[in-house]
Structure 1
Amino acid sequence: MKKETEQLWASEKYTVMAKGYNLYKEVQGQIRDAQSDTDYEKVRLLIAELKEKPFERRALCNTLEHVWGYFKKSAQDVDKQHFFSLLDTLRESDKEYYDEMPYEMDLFLQYLLQKYPSDYLSRSTFIKN
């Protein structure tokens, strides 16, 4: 159960982080402290519950910057400029919560992942494939 929960967390951590950094830290702490199958089941249920929450704009922007780290060394300047233009638009938005990743950002992340592959990010639910 431990291995499966850790794999689940690896695939969901950026999605949870974009819901709220405090939520991310909560799950991270529970995984660190988990010792029994019951503890790991609680973590799995918490992750499922948090996935249902909306993205919080500040947390989403922070998470996008983390994800950009996977592309920054190989990305062309034009891709960097476009990514940060989309990120700035999101930062300046009056909207505090998002039920889904903004469409243009979602598409661009898919494009980046295809152009600059990352095994780790390809297993993440944060970027739709």
Structure 2
Amino acid sequence: MKKETELLWASEKYSVMAKGYNFYKDIQGKMREAQLVEDYYEIQRLIADYKQKPYDKKALINTLEHVWGYFKKEAEEDDKKHFFSLLDELKRVEDEHFDEIPYEFQLYLYYLLEKYPSDYLNQSTFIKK
């Protein structure tokens, strides 16, 4: 059960982080403390619950910056400029919550993952394929 929960968390952590950094920290702490099978079931339930929440703008921006870290060493200057121009646009949006990651960002993340492969990000549900 521990291994399954760790794999689930690895695939879902950026999706949860983008919903709210406090949700991410909550699960991260519970992962550290978990010992019993019931603890892992509770973590799985929390992940499912948190994923149902809307994206929080500040948390989404923070998560996108984290994800950028996987690309920044290899990314060409044009890719970097485009990423940060999309991020600037997102910062100017008045909405504080989103049902979905803005479509342009979702497409661009997929493009970056194709151009600069990352096994870890490839397993993430944050970048929808």
Bin of the TM-score, shorter chain as denominator length:
over 0.9
5+ long unaligned stretches in structure 1: none
The CA distance in 2 between the partners of 1:8 and 1:100, in whole Å, is: 21
Deviations 1:68-92 (A, max 9, x none): 0000000000000000000000011
Correspondence for 1:108: 108
Give me the whole-angstrom Cα distance separating, in 2, the residues matched to 1:40 and 1:62: 26
State the partner residue of 1:49.
49
Task: Tell me the distance in 2 between the aligned counterparts of 1:92 and 1:12.
Answer: 27
Q: Distance in 1 between matches of 2:23 and 2:45?
A: 13
Between the aligned partners of 2:57 and 2:10, the Cα distance in structure 1 is: 22
TM alignment of 1:1-129, pairs within 5 A: 1-129=1-129
Superposed CA deviations along residues 16-73 of structure 1, whole A, max 9, x for unmatched, are 0001111100000111111110010000000000000000000000000000000000
Give the Cα–Cα distance (whole angstroms) in 1 for the partners of residues 104 and 66 of structure 2: 18
Over 6 Å off, 4+ runs: none
Code of the aligned partner of 1:109: L
Q: Distance in 1 between matches of 2:97 and 2:116?
A: 29
Distance in structure 2 (CA, Å) of the matches to 1:36 and 1:7 = 17
Matched residue count: 129
Measure the CA separation in 2 of the matches of 1:77 and 1:61: 20
Give the superposition deviation at 1:111. 0.2
Structure 2 segments unaligned to the other structure (5+ residues): none
Question: Separation in 1 of the partners of 2:77 and 2:32?
Answer: 38
- Inter-partner Cα distance in structure 1 for 2:39 and 2:66: 28
TM value normalised by structure 2 = 0.99
Query: Matches of 2:77 and 2:89 in 1, distance apart?
Result: 18
State the percentage of identical aligned residues: 64
Q: Secondary structure at the match of 2:9?
A: helix
> Cα RMSD (Å) of the superposition?
0.4
